[in-house]
Amino acid sequence: MASERQKHANRSNAQKSSGPRSSAGRKRASRNSYRHGLAAFFPLTAEHARRVEKLARKIAGNATDPMVLEHARAAAHAEFDLAEVRRVKVATIEKALAFGKFPSTVALQSIGEVARALGPLAGLNMPPAEATLALRPADRTAEAVRRALPELVRLDRYECRAAARRAQYLRAIAEMDKQGL
Amino acid sequence: MIARCWPPSELLRSSPLLSTEAADRYQQVRDAFAKDIKPSTTIEHIYVEDICVMSWEIFRLRRCRTAIVALGFREALEALLPELLRRPGGYAHQHQEEAKKLAYLWFSDPKARGRVEELLEQFHLGAAAIEAEAIRNSVVELEQLDKMLASLESRRMRALRFIAECRADLADRLSAGSDRIIDGQVLAVEHPKNRKPPAAA
């Protein structure tokens, strides 16, 4: 446990360095924990913002009420988030299709997974994962989906979240439409 | 207020297809949904597109579910056969080589298939035992697939309910609007000259 003297020193040192101060530095630091952007709720590029605005205008139609427009923007944003998650899902399966094995970041959970991972190293004469992909397209897809499953389950969470957000705003717009706003 | 007519634009078309899947089949699914639901508003178009993508994913995961079990047959046979080949007092691992050979030949050689059936019958088992073993080996994956399928099914149903609610609301408003028109406007269609003077009270 830190002594009172150490705590005091820590606090005074922290005062000397409180992170980046310039706007560019702050902007860069704001993306320190950025991983894949699937949980982000802000336009990533100007092009993305333009497309969001275009879709929002189409959703809102002739509405002039600022609340409707704001809800339409949020719904459009969620729609693009959803499309992005779906693209990542497809890319994840394609990656497993192309490379056979799928480098997982999660801990190996079964004896089979451990054996598959350690097999080539331990000289157990197990074939490399990419060599064991089935040959028929339907079987190859199934095997690729199976290998990508842990990632797909995680992506499903982001997909559900984006879909729920979109539904929430579209419902609000429909409600406002009912009220004639 | 909400745009009532908006043809589906490329803006929303993010292809959910894998390189092993047929684009024309997906297009058929999209056309069928568009024909059945006939989306008219932007929001309906968004939801119809969503339902197409989710339905396609459901087809894919269901196909994968079956294929994952089928692909596990060889591994299941390799696990099952040493136990069936083992004599009393013997060890299962002594029969692993023979089991592997039989498991490999089971798919193509009728003789090997017959031998496996014979072994299964000795223990009052059938081909279902192989399937059961394959399912047991893939239970983690199948559970994850089922979870994803349940999530997709529930979201698809919610999307369909939302369209139905929008349609019901539109129907209510059209009905109320047409009532107003009938009550207020149709009587005024008559030429004022032909109107009878209101009866004296």
Span A7-24, pLDDT tens digits: 999 888 888 877 888 888
Find the closest chain B residue to A146 by CA distance: B141
Minimal Cβ distance to B42: which of A59, A110, A176: A59
Using only C-alpha atoms, chain B has a radius of gyration, in whole angstroms, of 31
Domain enclosing residue B83, as ranges: 73-137
Which DSSP letter does residue B106 get? T
Domain enclosing residue A160, as ranges: 41-178
Q: What is the pTM of this model?
A: 0.70
Position A13 in a domain: no
State whether B83 and B133 are in the same domain.
yes
Position B122 in a domain: yes
Q: How far is A68 from chain B (nearest CA, A)?
A: 10
Whose tokens are 């968004």? That residue is B46
Q: In chain A, how many domains are there?
A: 1
Position B142 in a domain: no
What is the reported pLDDT for B190? 47
Size of interface A-B (CB pairs under 8 A): 121
State whether B79 and B62 are in the same domain.
no
CB-CB neighbours of B63 under 10 Å: 16
Q: How far is A137 from chain B (nearest CA, A)?
A: 6
Position A34 in a domain: no
Position B149 in a domain: no
Position A153 in a domain: yes
Q: In chain B, how many domains are there?
A: 2
Q: Is A110 left (phi over 0), alpha (psi -120 to 50) or beta?
A: beta
Q: Show residues of chain B in contact with A153, CB under 8 Å.
A: 144, 147-148
State whether B104 and B77 are in the same domain.
yes
pLDDT at B174 over 70: no
CB contacts under 8 A, A 19-78 vs B, are 51, 54-55, 58-63, 68
State whether B63 and B106 are in the same domain.
no
State whether B39 and B82 are in the same domain.
no
A134 touches chain B (CB under 8 A): yes
State whether B44 and B80 are in the same domain.
no
Q: Show residues of chain B in contact with A181, CB under 8 Å.
A: 1
pLDDT at B170 over 70: no
Are A60 and B2 inside 8 Å of each other by CB? yes
pLDDT < 50 positions in chain A: 105-106, 120-132
Reported ipTM: the value is 0.71
Position A18 in a domain: no
What is the reported pLDDT for B149? 93
Are B63 and A139 inside 8 Å of each other by CB? no
Which range is most confident: A31-35, B112-116, B170-174, B177-181? B112-116
State whether B124 and B87 are in the same domain.
yes
Position A47 in a domain: yes
Position B9 in a domain: no
Are B148 and A139 inside 8 Å of each other by CB? no
CA–CA gap between residue A111 and residue A122 (Å, rounded): 14
